Amino acid sequence: MTITGHHLIAGLEVAANGPTFRGMNPATGAALEPAFADASEANADAALRAADASFDGLRLAPPEQRAALLETIAEEIMALGDALLERAHAETALPMARCTGERGRAVGQCKLFASLIRDHSWAEARIDHAIPERQPLPKPDVRRVMLPIGPVVVFGASNFPFAISVAGTDTLCALAAGCPVVVKAHPAHPGTCEMIGRAIVAALVKTGLPPGSFSLLQGSGTAIGIALVKHPLTQAVAFTGSLRGGRALMDVAAARPNPIPFYGEMGSVNPVFVLPGALKERAAKMAEGYIGSVTMGVGQFCTNPAVVIGLDSPELNSFVSTAAEHAAKVSPQSMLHSGICKAYDSGTAAWKDISGLNLAGESAAPTQPEASQAACRIFTTTLDVLEENEELKREVFGPCSIIAAGQSKEAVLRYASALEGQLTAAIHGTEQDLEEYAPLIRILERKVGRIIFNGFGTGIEVCPSMHHGGPYPAASHSFFTSIGTASIYRFVRPVCYQGFPDAALPEALQAKNTRQSWRLIDGQLTQDDA
């Protein structure tokens, strides 16, 4: 496949005049061909008008046809072969094994959503039959189902070029629901984005669905993203990235004449609580797992364990010593791009100036700045210092973490109570620890989207039960997930029908349950006909 640097708008290649940029190999600093042009407001308008014109054709297509689209996208991605992996590796410096595994996750998500929509139980059909003889007033026939909302704008993540990007969860669940998608490609891997975008275009052609159901726009700055969010035809936005960038777009979405949902996943510090019983039993094993989680993917995960909390004790000191030993063995690795690496180095450098915060261990091997390499860095402090310094409450993206010692159980609970919203929190303990620290769990239930016992937040299982989100600022809306099949509910809304004849109702609400889906009929969950 030839990468052209063009935008893909409703099945057509569109070249743009204006400022250009290139993908960069972060490990070598080399610019990659070809040049990509920044999309214009006219490009955004064309893409969203095409999406809106395609909406009825996509949403009214049988679920089997939309499911076939998702499965064909998977086939087209796999058909790109090693060329796709090589381009992603060149643009991100992610190891080939990681690229291969993430491609598998993206393909698996295609199949997962295809299976979901064939059943149609996800649409949560509810049917309450009429009771015309009811006194003093007759009861009307009332039925409710989830329907797609319209064109969705997706911003892909820098750290997942396959699974949270052009063909990531946001795009797939929107298409599954029947919503056309306009993707703003991430400038850190534009060639990878174009290749996957072409796979989606090819899948639309093969399955006979409207070409305007998908468009891909390139851009290195903020202007095109703002134009997409502001456009009156955009009905929802999905974003994965920094708090600063996400909040800016969130404010744009809220300031529109007709505000729209903005589903932002914006990262967190993902605190890990190591309780006394667990430290006594397995401090060394926990420390090894901790460093493995901190350095997974060069620390470039939104669920990276950036803070560890434990009671000041010989066991916690042992945990710190073992973690420092493992950190020293970690070889520096190239980050996704030079900008992320510079931010990481400046962020951890600023930490070294904070009184009471000490560097406990770091990669023994030197970094190669020209290769955008980051060293693992582990710091120690006390809970008091952690609580007094606002800059320590914000994520520094990369393979670093802080271990903080508290003087009492009450101090640990006070820290947890003051936490901002988080994507994850982990508790390492014994059953006795859980009994003694039961209030900690109650606190975290109000602060966190996913609570992990004796594990770490990195390595998300893509499944129906997964919730990847949390209270602000971890995410813009704690009710919704950006990973797993429940993510589809971001792009649908309930519509209620009262008194309609059967033939005029959506299929999911008709008397005949042709798909044998689960429906709530007169208060009873059943697969029967209505």
Q: How many CB atoms lie within 10 A of CB 341?
A: 23
Give how far the C-alpha of residue 145 lies from the chain's centroid of Cα atoms, to the nearest Å.
Answer: 26
pLDDT tens per residue across span 227-282: 999 999 999 999 999 999 999 999 999 999 999 999 999 989 999 999 999 999 99
Are the C-beta atoms of 116 and 488 separated by less than 8 Å? yes
pLDDT value at residue 215: 98
Q: What is the mean pLDDT of residues 163-177?
A: 97
Contacts of 250 (CB under 8 A, 6+ apart): 239, 262, 264, 476
Helix axes 96-119, 169-177, angle to 10 degrees: 20
**pTM over the 0.85 mark:** yes
pLDDT tens per residue across span 128-137: 999 999 999 9
pLDDT value at residue 316: 98
The 3-state DSSP composition of the chain as helix, strand, coil percent (nearest 5) reads 45, 20, 35
Q: Residue 388 and residue 404: Cα distance in Å, rounded?
A: 12
Q: What is the mean pLDDT of residues 502-526?
A: 97
All structural domains of the chain with their residue ranges = 8-21+34-130+140-266+481-490, 272-453
pLDDT value at residue 17: 79
Are the C-beta atoms of 80 and 100 separated by less than 8 Å? no
Q: Residue 120 and residue 129: Cα distance in Å, rounded?
A: 20
DSSP string spanning 27-53?
Answer: TT--EEEEEEEPP-HHHHHHHHHHHHH
Q: Residue 308 and residue 381: Cα distance in Å, rounded?
A: 10
Compute the Cα dihedral for 271, 277, 279, 283 and give only its sign.
negative
pLDDT tens per residue across span 196-211: 999 999 999 999 999 9
* Torsions phi, psi for 261 (to 5 deg): -65, 135
The CA distances from residue 397 to 13, 241, 242, 294, 342, in Å, are 35, 11, 9, 10, 10
Q: What is the mean pLDDT of residues 509-525?
A: 97
Q: Which fold has domain 272-453?
A: Aldehyde Dehydrogenase; Chain A, domain 2 (3.40.309)
Tell me the pLDDT band of 455, cut-offs 50, 70 and 90: very high
Task: Write out the catalytic residue numbers.
Answer: 265, 302
> Which residue carries 């996957």 as its tokens?
196
Is the per-residue pLDDT at 185 higher than 90?
yes
Domain 8-21+34-130+140-266+481-490 annotated CATH 2.60.40.1180: no
Q: Is 413 buried (19+), middle (13-18) or exposed (0-12) by CB count in 10 A?
A: middle
**Identity (one letter) of the amino acid at 283?**
A
Q: Residue 487 and residue 489: Cα distance in Å, rounded?
A: 5
pLDDT tens per residue across span 425-437: 999 999 999 999 9
- How do strand 373-374 and strand 333-334 relate by DSSP bridges? antiparallel
Are the C-beta atoms of 168 and 106 separated by less than 8 Å? yes
> Which residue carries 């397995």 as its tokens?
282
pLDDT value at residue 222: 94
pLDDT tens per residue across span 78-113: 999 999 999 999 999 999 999 999 999 999 999 999
Across the chain, mean pLDDT equals: 97
Are the C-beta atoms of 398 and 342 separated by less than 8 Å? no
The CA distances from residue 481 to 104, 240, 372, 478, in Å, are 21, 12, 32, 8
Is the per-residue pLDDT at 336 higher than 90?
yes
pLDDT value at residue 236: 98
Are the C-beta atoms of 311 and 273 separated by less than 8 Å? no
Sheet containing strand 448-453, edge to edge, reads: 358-362, 377-382, 400-406, 307-311, 272-274, 422-428, 448-453
Is the per-residue pLDDT at 18 higher than 90?
no
